[in-house]
Amino acid sequence: MDALLLSRIQFGFTIGFHILFPTLTIGLAWFLVCFEAAWRRTQRAYWLELYRFWVKIFALTFGMGVVSGLVLSYEIGTNFSRFSDLAGPVLGPLLSVEVLTAFFVEAGFLGIMLFGWDKVGPRLHFLASLLVALGTTNSAFWVLSANSFMHTPQGAEWINGQLVPTDWWAVVFNPSFPYRLTHMLLASSITASLVVAGGSAWCLWKDVYRGAGLAGLRTAITVLAIAAPLQIVVGDFHGLNVREHQPIKVAAMEGLWHTTRGAPLLVFAIPDQKAQQNHFEIAVPKLASLILSHDLDGEIQGLGSVPPEMQPPVLPVFFGFRVMAGLGFLFLLLGAWGVWRWVGGKLEQDRLMLRAFVVATPLGFIATLAGWIVAETGRQPWLVHGLIRTHEGVSDIPAASVATSLTIFVLVYGLLLIAYLYYVFKLVQTGPSLPTIHPEVMRGARPAELTQDPPSVGVKENL
């Protein structure tokens, strides 16, 4: 394999590893805001149990996201230095703003979330939680703006061999950005809701921390029941936008080799890019045209309309799209199931449903990874669609060097993932607990105002 292919594999691996963590933290941060707001409103201790437990998971995941995210900047500089030179005037400022306006806010107030219960008042602590949640969302805003520019560039032109911004408003709010941002925020909400639902269902299954488990499961089901159908609607609009700006990506998603009116939706097929055809097709007539053009006889551009070297790798895009879409409808069913059992008063008793939510815990991550494979692999052979080809952005480095660094990344990231999962499971085994501080501190009094030692609060109180 040459340096170009190895560099693409390495970046795909490292960014795929990284995206697992922001996918959870973006959504989980807002769960923490809800938990703390509910505790402030009701003073019911199980909301505080939920907050104290999930903030530890959040902090651990946030740290992993920071570590894996820092690597990406250096990797672009080492493996795609020509791309940095060509597109740096556009992408550099966007990513710098993300660090200055989002990351510093998250990192600065995370300490208050973790250690500030007996050091600041409840209003300031809640403000810290809210600012961290806003920071994670703001971070997604700027990163996805930069990423969306690579798919649908506008507001920049070539000046002296570089892409230079001429209209920052157009750069930031490029045609695919609103759909991509909304799609990702909903994906994060769904992922976080499945993780919280899985942990809460496990508590109910094991008959421990029932108050926290039931409250957490109800909150997660509420979010899932709202976000899952919204995601399907947003995905439809996003697909229409992709068809307008990147029709060859849509053709790869659909496994459509020839431009067709009334194109069928392939439920299953094995695309053969070398032969430019599919094997073992199972199709629903005209459904692809209906979905993509809202017209049974709408015309869908085929892969054969461009030379083979201008086509993306079809196999991962085709199957990645089906994994993402299939899981999206599964999430819709899970949310509806949860609401049905909740309304019927059987949420705690339905052990099959509890087991289903435990099993579904990692599915949000899988759907997100599948979606990113579709989006980024489907953009090939472009780094910036229509402007910079991937081979034009790669560094002039030996293939052996890239292979060595790729091997190291796989080993180190594998160890990091094992360590992360180990500590997550340790936290799960410990379970939710209340802080051992005086109740007056929780109501806003300063520690100096207290004249006696704070009493301990039992961590397994059945609330």
What's the rounded Cα separation, in Å, for the pair 154 and 323? 31
Residues 371 and 185 sit within 8 Å (Cβ to Cβ): no
- To 10 degrees, the CA torsion angle through 202, 137, 35, 105? 120
For helices 3-42 and 363-377, what crossing angle results, to 10°? 140
Which tens digit of pLDDT belongs to each residue from 52-85? 999 999 999 998 998 888 888 888 888 888 998 9
Q: What is the mean pLDDT of residues 380-401?
A: 91
Residue 338 has pLDDT above 60, yes or no: yes
Which tens digit of pLDDT belongs to each residue from 172-206? 999 999 999 999 999 999 999 999 999 999 988 88
Which token pair is 285? 């007539």
- To 10 degrees, the CA torsion angle through 299, 302, 305, 311? 150
Amino acid letter, 436: T
Q: What is the largest CA-CA distance in the chain?
A: 81
Q: Which residues contact 145 (CB under 8 A, 6 or more apart)?
A: 94, 171, 172, 173, 174, 177, 181
Residue with tokens 């941002």: 181
pLDDT at residue 147, rounded to an integer: 94
Amino acid letter, 289: S
DSSP string, 384-443: ETTTEEHHHHS----HHHHHHHHHHHHHHHHHHHHHHHHHHHHHHHH------S-HHHHT
Which token pair is 100? 């200055």
What percentage of the chain carries pLDDT values higher than 70?
93
Domain boundaries in the chain?
Answer: 3-259+301-449
Q: Which residues contact 176 (CB under 8 A, 6 or more apart)?
A: 148, 151, 152, 238, 241, 242, 245
Q: What is the rounded average pLDDT for all residues in the chain?
A: 88
Q: What is the mean pLDDT of residues 118-147?
A: 91
pLDDT at residue 336, rounded to an integer: 95
For residue 381, cis peptide bond before it (omega within 30 degrees of 0): yes
The structure's pTM equals: 0.90
In this structure, what are the phi and psi dihedrals at residue 283, rounded to the nearest 5 degrees? -130, 150
Q: Given the DSSP bridges, would you call strands 388-389 and 382-384 parallel, antiparallel or unpaired?
A: antiparallel
pLDDT at residue 433, rounded to an integer: 64
Q: Which residues contact 151 (CB under 8 A, 6 or more apart)?
A: 174, 176, 180, 245, 246, 375, 379, 385
Name which residue leads in pLDDT, 428 or 431. Answer: 428
